[in-house]
Structure 1
Amino acid sequence: MNSINLEIRPISYQEKVEERRQLLRRQGFLSRLQNRDFKLWFPELKPEILDRLGWLDLPERSAKIIPQLKKFAEEIKEDGIEQIILLGMGGSSLAVEVFAHSWASLNAPIPLQVLDSTHPRIVAQVGQEGQNHKTLFIVSSKSGTTIETLSLFRYFWELKKRESEFPGSMFVAITDEGTPLEKLALERGFRAVFHGSPDVGGRFSALSVFGLLPAALLGIDLEKLIEVAHEEKKEIFNLAQPSPEISRRDVLIYPALLGSMVAQRDKITFFASSELVSFLDWLEQLLAESLGKDGQGLIPIIQEPALEPGMIGPDRLIINFALSGDKDLASSAMSELLTKVDCPQLFITLPDIYCLGAEMFRWEVSVALLGSILGVHPFNQPDVALAKVLTREMLEKGFSSSSPLPAVALDKEKDLVAQWGQWLESIEPGDYVGLQAFLPPSEDIKDLLSELRKIILTTTKAPTSLGFGPRFLHSTGQLHKGGPNKGVFLQLIDNPEEEVPIPETPYSFGQLIRAQADGDFLALKQRGRRVLRVHLGEEAGQGLAQLIRIVSAHFL
């Protein structure tokens, strides 16, 4: 296996990181993780520690299921399936996006799309595009109870019932054994059910069946992917004194760097070349949901637009991913920019795309160790439940797509300007701004949100993050509510004209996404977070453009 290359810049930071790396090695962090020593995290055993360490064994376990996954992929290909749509959230979808995007040059035998939005405009659009196509739906949920995944399933099940007498042949489930989803799949005659491992949490499941079944359908060489991860694992847990060459790429460099600077530099700003961009979404969830709790946490900042040296403050640490020999012009421009910045930077160069399997394992190890360093439980997500409970309450109250919660409207420009100004004034040095867009994740909306991020960044110099709802609830949502109170949030909602009912339920997708926005807004308020809510009207794109014009006119 060609080696992953690490470089810390400027040189002045290397000595501090090396001292911390050697300390972590002397303290036996890796051996204690390998031996499942729960005292690595807490003096007494807590739930979801020992029963959540199965990911350490995935390089070996997953090698045993590869023949089964490849056989299934071949059957699907021979059956004439024309497209694959994966319905899933968070840990059930983000690794799949990495495989679909980073291996796009493979020209997958069957196109695969991930659907993790419940916005009625997107749901209706995907439903319309999928009509009269021979489609395989992968319904992916570890718990088997994920409300978004089950709602999407019910919608597409109803559509396919109109096309086929036996719609179950078009559906596959990935879930743990004994879940409500497995029961549903058996009752409705799904084509297959693949079981996850109960001792592997969702965000640590990339190299399990949750990631590997879609990877097999994409035509990825599973043996190579898992072998690279297996070789990396052997190198990590070879506890003999490492050679100087191995020390230069030691996995302990990650927790040594991040852990030694967390008090001053907790905004971990990631950049990546084009083939690796989707890896950042996966890594964002791993860091945010694992470490953002008990008032602690590292704050991942990804895909931030138009950074200039003067915008990179003393609270940032930069990590840049690239492929060896990458000719990506955007990546080259970013590398040039970073030479002008005086803050700690880690450059990670992968020899080829299959080393993403190794890099996923390296970051899982690192996050587990960072949990120990920060004194938090890296395998639970205690603050996610609050938003879920509040969402259920909203749905049970029967709200339509309108909402009784406060939101400033665009046609109240004077109020908007006043509240925006107050919101800006609440941002203090060391804060970050989190955009929460309960909007359709279309390219035009993404472009407008990128422009809005630039304006906020220019105005405040505060790092900015962006998440589409409800997707981010399964990623950065834990950090927003459970991490340090440094987030200042902008929730953006619309009132879509489309009314798309969710079959077998009393509510629609419009009601669901609004209830989720309401629930998260209330959860943020209960946690004492600073949040401004803006209603963009019926057409999100037009509303965003109007918001940008108003903010630019008054605050730039």
Structure 2
Amino acid sequence: MNDTSSSSVAVTASGAAADAIDAHLSALVEQKFASRLFDQDHTLWGPAAEEESAKRLSWVSLARSSRPLVGEIAAIRDEMTSRGLDHVVLCGMGGSSLAPEVICATAGVPLTVLDSSQPDMVRAAIDDRLDKTIVVVSSKSGSTVETDSQRRIYEQAFKDAGIDPTERIVVVTDPGSPLDGEARQAGYRVVNADPQVGGRYSALTAFGLVPSGLAGVDVEALLDQAEAVTDVLAADDDANPALRLGAALGGTSPLRNKVLLIDAGTANVGFGDWAEQLIAESTGKDGTGLLPVVVGSSPAGELLDDELWVSLLPDDSEDAVAGDAAVGVSGSLGAQLLLWEAATAVAGRLLGINPFDQPDVESAKKAARALLDGGAAGADAPAFTDGAVEVRALGGDWLGGAKTVDEALAALVGQLPEHGYLAVMAYLDRIADAALADVRVSLGKTINRPVTFGWGPRFLHSTGQYHKGGAPEGVYLQITTTAHEDLAVPGREFTLGDFIAAQAGGDAQVIAEHGRPVLRLHLTDHDDGLTQVMQAVGDLKSEDTAS
């Protein structure tokens, strides 16, 4: 049994996880990894990573360097609330949306997160309390197409309602980005983020704090929590929780690369979704990495030999975990944000990868742009149509003689390798169609393998990196739909329907080019097609899984 607790974070480990800590901790301490990390030593991940890491390490000091934002955010909030504006909408993707979502949910503060290009979901957000809405437009690069499209649509909606958009939209972006210059010139309020921090490490920058603070979260308290553990996480000491957690994540032998994130009573609501992006996008490359699997309160079955179970415990818990490969983590939200970032950097070192780039996220974006420019998104003919579902198979000749959705799904899971996983990728309205996410549980029980579930295009900025860059073990179920009503993007030649079709098509194309099987199910009638897919999942038999 291995355990440590310091300030407001605690890490315990048993079995293979404890063995990994024993195997790597002494070397990490001797190499002064922790102090070098917090001194922003960009050489820690090898020569190939130095250029990127040299401009991505300011997150280690954000608990202190982000303090000036507290007053700035409070001033903006006071101004907005004095005008009766109390409905905060965040337009952002990936690191720009996941942290604020967790921060606000944990604080019990309402925040509408619009991280989709699905027309029905965007329209529903626009139609909700526009007269009381403040919109935070967050984009690190300043060129994220989803966020730019959402901004344009909100601008038009405000104008149509006789509202000056510059009085309602707050822009968060890196200094010097295209959005920075354009927004300032147009008269918008702009808050710049630290450009030396990557998106998935940006929880304590303006990207995490501005929307959360405007929504009503005490962001100063969040920074206090992180600052309370900064020195602990920077210490070259056996008790350092980040070294221990990082060793448990990245140091098992053989590597247990399916990291199940289990809600075991944590007060940090939705924390697994934030950690999912941090872990998958940081480590899933060069044919290796860690696949986070957000499983809710309990896994679907018994511990598998390629799984590591991580229990997210109540804040003040120091309970020891037990099992063949188990980790327990507890602590306040601000402390855990910094803990997991540092632990992921440790895991990257042990895995021998650069934890700060995301090459395969970019490849999917390029493929989507090519389809959008060519007007060919989803134009390939289906292999067959069954009721309200068009069926397409990519990534090899594996569909066989399937003629129904049920048979196609069985053919897909039949491609699972011994240590495989199934990724369900749903390009639907994640609010209206939320019940679909339950298929992860039923599929996991049926196939007895890890099953991930991602809403498109949200997951493209998260597990989408691992799908292409991680171990070649996945099979992929993509679900798309025809929107109830499309939505034009002002100033652009494409609609949101065109765009999300291109995103889905581009992602499937890139996965297939890696030789990985993709089953695309397109719902020609949303309600009837969704019923068919849910029924096919329910009808799937365990014997359909490859051994």
- Cα separation, partners in 2 of 1:479 and 1:170, compared to 1, 3 Å: same
1:487-539 residue CA offsets vs partner (Å, 9 max, x unmatched): 11101111123121111111111111101000101111112222111122221
Specify whether residues 542 and 259 from structure 1 end up closer, same or farther in structure 2 by C-alpha distance, changes over 3 A only. Answer: same
- Label 1:534 to 1:72 Cα distance change in 2 as closer, same or farther (>3 A): same
Q: Select the residue among 120, 132, 139 that pairs with 2:137.
A: 139
- Counterpart AA for 1:379: F
Question: What are the within-5 Å matches in structure 2 for residues 233-252 of structure 1?
Answer: 233-239=230-236, 241=237, 247=239, 250-252=241-243
Matched, 1:425 2:414: yes
Residues 16 and 100 of structure 1: is their aligned pair in 2 closer, same or farther, counting only changes over 3 Å? closer
Cα distance, 1:65–1:82 mapped onto 2, change above 3 Å: closer
AA aligned opposite 2:403: K
**Residue 457 of structure 2 contacts residue 500 of structure 2 at CA under 8 Å; is this kept in 1?**
yes
Please state if 1:472 is matched with 2:459. Answer: yes
Counterparts of 2:403 and 2:255, CA distance in 1: 38
Q: Over residues 70-92 of structure 1, what are the superposed CA-to-partner deviations in whole Å (9 max), with x where a residue is unaligned? A: 22222222221031111000011
Structure 1 pair 367–324 and aligned structure 2 pair: CA distance change class (3 A) = closer
Q: How does 1:203-242 map to 2 (within 5 A)?
A: 203-239=200-236, 241=237
* Contact 1:88 1:116 survives alignment (8 Å): yes
Which residue matches 2:328?
347
Partner of 1:51: 55
Matched, 1:189 2:170: no
How many angstroms does 1:223 deviate by?
Answer: 2.5
What SS is found at the alignment partner of 1:276?
coil
Letter in 1 for 2:499: L
Question: What is the aligned partner in structure 2 of residue 391 from structure 1?
Answer: 368
Is residue 410–residue 536 contact of structure 1 (8 Å, CA) maintained in 2?
A: no
Q: What is the aligned partner in structure 2 of residue 544 from structure 1?
A: 530
Amino acid at match of 2:244: I
The answer on 1:202 being equivalent to 2:199 is yes
Alignment of 1:92-131 (within 5 A): 92-104=96-108, 108=109, 111-131=110-130
Report the residue type matching 1:446 in the other structure: A
- 1:332 corresponding residue in structure 2: none
| Correspondence 1:436 to 2:428 | no
Indicate the structure with greater helix content.
1
Distance 1:209 1:432 in 2: 35
Q: Distance in 2 between matches of 1:169 and 1:465?
A: 40
Contact 2:312 2:328 in 1 (8 A): yes
Question: Is the partner of 1:207 in helix, strand or coil?
Answer: coil
Residue 206 of structure 1 aligns with an amino acid whose one-letter code is A
Give the Cα–Cα distance (whole angstroms) in 2 for the partners of residues 257 and 432 of structure 1.
21
1:116-158 C-alpha deviation (Å, 9 max, x unpaired) = 0111111111122234x22111110000000000001111111
Q: CA–CA distance in 1 between the matches of 2:129 and 2:253? A: 46
SS in 2 for 1:360: helix
Aligned equivalents of 2:151 and 2:164: distance in 1?
A: 15
Distance in 2 between residues matched to 1:29 and 1:408, nearest whole Å: 55
Consecutive unaligned residues of structure 1, counting only runs of 5 or more, are 327-334
* Counterpart position of 1:404: 380
Q: Is the Cα–Cα contact under 8 Å of residues 17 and 327 in structure 2 kept in the other structure?
A: no
Q: For residues 15-37 of structure 1, what are the alpha-carbon distances to aligned partners after superposition, in whole Å with 9 as ceiling and x for unaligned?
A: 55234222321222113323333
Alignment of 1:318-329 (within 5 A): 318-324=309-315
Q: Which amino acid aligns with 1:349?
A: S
- Report the alpha carbon displacement of residue 57 of structure 1 after superposing the two structures with TM: 1.9
Q: Which amino acid aligns with 1:544?
A: L
Count of residue pairs the alignment pairs up? 522
Change (3 A) 1:44 1:161: closer
Distance across 2 between alignment mates of 1:250 and 1:84 = 35
Q: Which residue of 1 aligns with 2:65?
A: 61
Q: Secondary structure at the match of 1:484?
A: coil
C-alpha distance after superposition, 1:442-483 (max 9, x if no partner): 25x232331x22332233211010111100111111111111
- Checking the alignment, whether the CA contact within 8 Å between 1:408 and 1:534 is kept in structure 2 is no
Give secondary structure in 2 for the equivalent of 1:206: coil
Pick from 251, 271, 287 the counterpart of residue 260 of structure 1: 251
Q: Cα 1:44–1:294, aligned 2, differ >3 Å: closer, same or farther? A: closer
Tell me what 2:38 maps to. Answer: 34
* Cα drift, residue 214 of structure 1: 1.7
TM-score, structure 2 length as denominator? 0.90
Q: Give the TM-score taking structure 1 as reference length.
A: 0.88
Q: Deviations over 1:340-361 (max 9, x none)?
A: xx431111222xxxx2111111
Q: Is the 8 A contact 1:117 1:471 kept in 2?
A: yes
**Within 2, Cα distance between the matches of 1:57 and 1:13?**
28
Separation in 1, partners of 2:233, 2:420: 35
Contact kept, 8 Å, 2:80 with 2:86, in 1: the verdict is no
Listed one character per residue, the Cα deviations across residues 33-62 of structure 1 (whole Å, up to 9, x for unaligned) are 233333321146642111111112212211
CA distance in structure 2 between the partners assigned to 1:222 and 1:298 by the alignment: 30
Q: 1:304 to 1:489 in 2, by over 3 A?
A: farther
CA deviation after TM superposition for structure 1 residue 390, in Å = 1.1
Following superposition, the deviation at residue 4 of structure 1 comes to 2.0
Quote the residue 1:162 is aligned against: 160
SS of equivalent residue, structure 1 residue 271: strand
Q: Secondary structure at the match of 1:534?
A: strand
3-state SS of the aligned residue for 1:37? coil
In the TM superposition, residue 368 of structure 1 has moved relative to its aligned partner by 1.3
Tell me the SS of whatever aligns to 2:89.
strand
Identity, % of aligned positions: 33
3-state SS in 2 of match to 1:493: strand
Moved more, 151-160 or 57-66: 57-66
What is the SS of the residue equivalent to 1:502?
coil
Which residue, out of 423, 426, 447, partners 1:460?
447
Residue identity opposite 1:89 in structure 2: M
Determine if contact 2:18/2:248 at 8 Å carries over to the other structure.
no
- Say which SS state the counterpart of residue 289 (structure 2) adopts: coil
Aligned partner letter, 1:303: V
Q: Which amino acid aligns with 2:326?
A: Q
Q: C-alpha offsets along residues 221-266 of structure 1, whole Å, 9 cap, x if unaligned?
A: 2322212212211122234x56xxxx2x632111121222163411
Amino acid at match of 1:545: T
Tell whether the 8 Å contact from 1:407 to 1:534 is kept in structure 2 after alignment: no
Is contact 1:206–1:212 with CA below 8 Å preserved after alignment? Answer: yes
Deviation at 1:98, TM superposition (A): 0.8
Whichever residue aligns with residue 54 of structure 1, its letter is: S
Contact 2:19 2:252 in 1 (8 A): no
2:146 to 142, 145, 148: 148
Deviation of the 1:406 alpha carbon: 4.1
The letter for the 2-side match of 1:363 is W
- Letter in structure 1 aligned against 2:139: S
Amino acid at match of 2:534: I
Specify the alignment match of 1:9 in structure 2.
Answer: 14
- Are residues 1:373 and 2:350 paired? yes
Inter-partner Cα distance in structure 1 for 2:540 and 2:312: 37
